[in-house]
Structure 1
């Protein structure tokens, strides 16, 4: 089956022209999306907790700012961009009581709906616009006249106009310029978490540490190991992102090409893939979601402290801090 996709000339902002949009939250993603929507000519307000540290920032960015409940009351579309672990409580206390028939709740991640942390009423639309990039990049590319691609989904189409609103919102943040692709809340959250855990964050982090340790334990200087196992990774990832894996291999040395093609599969092998399947099964079953929720409720952000402290004490982090100061002396680096 061919995946559905839409480009800029196929989508109109007209379905949103007479609607009020409340962006709940003004973190990196909330600030970017709210500002892009406003610059696209939409009627946007920002919903925040009174006295929160982002209230002044949103006002300084020339947004109309209201407490969350008032923003929900006054708006047709409520775009929820607060952290996953805060969405359930905020929805119950400050959003759900003010959702009337035909309103829309929107997300940029499928977790709260898919795992039923939020149980929306049946007489509203439930949609998702998930940019495939950090908020800073969403804003930068929009200001450059382009945009970040997004995944889009409709979970509940009560008004029979949910898709019109979804695509128009995607256009308003710039995503239809490169293109948007259809997904489901289930597919978005399960693939997103899988990528984070086995590849983008967890997998890469462990691959860097283990390769660095291998060289240092063999007697090589930590600074040299840092360059070979961490620093140069960005150069390769940039090539892969722009040209694909084959394109990357045609742009590195013949020695790197032969070594990578013949040795890479010995390092990341069928055993690694079997472990990836185990991680995916934990995500699909809801085991990871339950573990994360329980851990968060018990420890809040303290859940990360011990693990991050252990990582910060690793030799690669100490060596890296010194080398980054050497490479970027004018910037504040960590």
Structure 2
């Protein structure tokens, strides 16, 4: 299935003329997006609680208001605070300040996809979701390079929601490389799938590899360097991004190419097992809403849950070996 891609020529920055954009949250994304919009000659105010991020926004020359004040001041409100606090902050501080015809912009589809935001019925709701950390969003804007970004219209009351979303995307530099038409459901599902299927499997592969190699009598230093401490995997992923999965094999030795391709063919059973597991995660945990209901349950102590999981993960011998190797320098 193909998706439409929007470029600078599809987006009109004049759509934002005379409309104040309130950037709520001056963290990783908020800092970058606020500065990019300002450099695109958009009127920006920042809404933030009284913390170090607020002080940073003041230092960077922005008018900084309380979150509730920013929501009232902005005709377009960018919601750039963590997923797990959005529902409460929106209900208590943002929704009451939104007026008819205003636009709420999310950078993560999570809370919209799982119905966790209680919003007035007379506001537009769109998504502009950079697929880059904030530092890269800022750096690539300054270089005019662009970066991957997903955009969607989740509710169009005014009939101009798409134009507003694309104007915001252009203002933060996303359409320079092409912003892809998507949905909050798609963005959230893909993000959660990477976090719950792909990366845990990578962790498990490293754990199993360490166990096998350590049992064979190889040193922790050599094993960890081979697996990831050398930084080689990052180089491989960079080449995959630049060249493609198979094309990047050309920069490996012939021995490496033969071994990788041979055992790829011999991994058909493993691929089938992973496909079944991943399908259960996608459908049974993510799309069903089961994970969202567990993670976003009212009053859930997210910090203690994460700490307990980290403590259990930290008991694997790979983690002890890594700490020892790092300590030895």
Same fold (TM over 0.5): yes
Equivalent runs, 1:158-169 vs 2, <5 Å: 158-169=157-168
Q: Does 1:133 align with 2:135?
A: no
Residue equivalent to 2:309 = 307
CA distance in 2, matches of 1:323, 1:38: 46
* Closer, same or farther: CA 266–135 of 1 in aligned 2, 3 Å: farther
| Cα distance per residue 1:49-79 (max 9 Å; x no partner) | 2x22211011111111000111011110011
Q: Report the 3-state secondary structure (helix = DSSP H, G, I; strand = E; otherwise coil) of the residue aligned with 2:21.
A: strand
Contact 1:113 1:119 in 2 (8 A): no
Counterpart residue number, 1:331? none
Q: In the alignment, which of 206, 212, 215 is matched to residue 214 of structure 1? A: 212
**Aligned-pair CA distance for 1:205:** 2.0
* 3-state SS, counterpart of residue 3 of structure 1: coil
Q: Which moved more, 1:139-148 or 1:151-160?
A: 139-148
Whole-angstrom CA distance in 1 between matches of 2:67 and 2:265: 51
**Residues 144/324 of structure 1: CA separation in 2 closer, same or farther (3 Å cut):** farther
Give the equivalent residue in structure 2 for 1:279.
281
CA distance in 1, matches of 2:159, 2:113: 21
- Which residue is equivalent to 2:263? 263
Per-residue Cα deviation, 1:182-232 (whole angstroms, up to 9, x for no partner):
011111111111122211x32222222222222112211111111222232
* Structure 1 residue 315, shift from structure 2 partner: 4.2
| Aligned-pair CA distance for 1:313 | 4.8
3-state SS of 2:177 partner: coil
Counterpart CA distance in 1 for 2:13 and 2:326 is 44
What is the CA distance between 1:290 and its match in structure 2?
1.0
Per-residue CA deviations over 1:69-101 (Å, capped at 9, x if unaligned) read 110111100110111110111011101111110
Q: Give the aligned partner of residue 30 of structure 1.
A: 30
CA–CA separation in structure 1 for the residues paired with 2:250 and 2:161: 44
| Deviation of the 1:298 alpha carbon | 2.8
In structure 2, what is the Cα distance between the partners aligned to 1:59 and 1:40?
19
Which secondary structure state, in structure 2, belongs to the residue aligned with residue 46 of structure 1? strand
Aligned pairs for 1:13-28 (under 5 A) are: 13-28=13-28
Give 1:113-124 correspondences, 5 Å limit.
113-124=112-123
1:265 positional shift: 5.3
Structure 2 unaligned runs (5+)?
A: none
Structure 1 stretch displaced more, 301-310 or 73-82? 301-310
Task: Decide whether the 8 Å contact of 1:148 with 1:178 is kept in 2.
Answer: yes
Looking at structure 1, the residues matched to 4 and 20 of structure 2 have their Cα atoms a distance apart, in angstroms, of 28
Asked whether the equivalents of residues 91 and 118 of structure 1 are also in contact (C-alpha less than 8 Å), the reply is yes
Distance across 2 between alignment mates of 1:325 and 1:152: 44
Q: How far 1:17 moved relative to its partner?
A: 1.6
How many residue pairs are counted as aligned between the two chains? Answer: 324
Give TM-score, length-normalised by structure 2.
0.93
Tell me the secondary structure at the aligned position of residue 251 of structure 2: coil
Q: Please list the CA deviations of residues 291-329 of structure 1 after superposition, one character each: whole Å capped at 9, or x if unmatched.
A: 2123x83323121112223434544445445666888xx
Q: Which runs of 4+ in 1 moved over 3 A?
A: 264-268, 310-327
Which residue pairs with 1:230 in the alignment? 228
Alignment RMSD? 1.9
